Amino acid sequence: MEFTAQQIADLLGGEIQGNPLVKVSDFSKIEEGKPGTLSFLSNPKYSQFIYESQASIVLVNKDFHPEKEVQATLIRVEDAYHSLATLLSLVDQTKPKKTGISPLAFVSESANIGENAYIQPFVYIGESVIIGKNARIHPNCSIENGAVLGENVTLYSGVKVYNDCVIGNNCILHSGAVIGSDGFGFAPNGDGSYKKIPQMGNVVLEDNVEIGANSIVDRATLGSTTIRKGVKIDNLVQIAHNVEVGENTVIAAQTGISGSTKLGKQCILAGQVGLAGHLQIADGTIFGAQTGVPNSVKIPNQTLQGYPAIPVMNFHKSAIVHKNLPELQKLIYAMQKRIEELENKIK
């Protein structure tokens, strides 16, 4: 399908700078722009590419001021990245959606499958499972007894949903994600061995949650491990039993959250963040990459980094000192030697 710059601008509420009749039928990155494609510029680091890009249309923020002539037609919007997401979503929605259940899938007779669901080969759906309408279950997924999936849920290949877990509407689980595996619960015995504690709870994902490939959310010992609405979780993330993640929180790859920790709303956890168990994290907290969090964070809207986590400006100052430690050590040794020489002269 082709769209003119004018049609796109009307849809996004943008302002056109250039030819309103130019047409596009695909997308491209700004540094690889081709005629007939739409690109975008939101990060100033890529500004140099807009002057060479062959893209026919480029979305830019309203405050973008070109330093020289731009060949492409510009559409000025409040947020170019957000506008691109809107266009990509619309294009995705126009793609034809398959429906039906493959004869190579196993679906229990007691399962309840909603309208227009698409269940691909080698899917296992257990007893008393409920799946909402428009669900899309890709090959080799396993949905065990008593699990509930809402409407418009997508499970990519190899997702495992353990028994009695609940997944809300519009959730997306990427390949290899595991929902409801046992929490890491073991009681020490007197002889040094460990006795497994049965994990009798479940996992609840609220609406509009997305979980990346090979990420794991463990079931609760009792009650529920809860991922609130709008949470976005990257690949290779571990969330332990009885954790609660507040709504619209974002968690990047290789992060680990220990058992019974409660994250507030709209937190941001960068890559390889580690949180100890039984913590309370205030709303709006941001943890920089590789931050270790041994204690609760009670003041909201802070940015913390390092181990143990400290305010980010203090971390940056500490990093400068750490970098200079070898020279500071030499200086201290030199001062010690000089002091000894002066003491000897006095004696």
**pLDDT above 90 for 319:** no
Query: Whose structure tokens read 């309840």?
Result: 112
Q: What's the pLDDT tens digit per position in 143-193?
A: 999 999 999 999 999 999 999 999 999 999 999 999 999 999 999 999 999
Those residues with Cβ within 8 angstroms of residue 62's Cβ, 6 or more apart along the chain or in another chain: 15, 76, 77, 78
Our answer to whether residue 82 is catalytic in this structure is: no
Distance CA 297, CA 282 (A): 6
Q: With bands split at pLDDT 50, 70 and 90, how would you rate the model's confidence at 94?
A: confident
Q: Provide mean pLDDT across the span 308-326.
A: 91
Q: Judging by beta carbons within 10 Å of its beta carbon (0-12, 13-18, 19+), is residue 298 exposed, middle or buried?
A: exposed
pLDDT at 345: 87
Those residues with Cβ within 8 angstroms of residue 347's Cβ, 6 or more apart along the chain or in another chain: none
Phi, psi of 154, rounded to the nearest 5 degrees:
-120, 125
For strands 3-4 and 23-24, give the pairing: antiparallel
Distance CA 150, CA 116 (A): 13
Task: Give the chain's mean pLDDT.
Answer: 95
Distance CA 125, CA 110 (A): 10
**pLDDT above 90 for 96:** no
**pLDDT above 80 for 294:** yes
Q: What's the pLDDT tens digit per position in 116-145?
A: 999 999 999 999 999 999 999 999 999 999
Q: Provide mean pLDDT across the span 342-346.
A: 88
Q: Which of 65, 241, 316, 322 is catalytic?
A: 241
pLDDT at 1: 77
Percent of the chain with pLDDT over 90: 90
CB 237 within 8 A of CB 243: no
pLDDT at 248: 98
pLDDT at 99: 93
Q: What's the pLDDT tens digit per position in 200-256?
A: 999 999 999 999 999 999 999 999 999 999 999 999 999 999 999 999 999 999 999
Q: With bands split at pLDDT 50, 70 and 90, how would you rate the model's confidence at 49?
A: very high
Q: Judging by beta carbons within 10 Å of its beta carbon (0-12, 13-18, 19+), is residue 111 exposed, middle or buried?
A: middle
Distance CA 132, CA 259 (A): 30
The reply to whether omega before 121 is within 30° of 0 (cis) is no
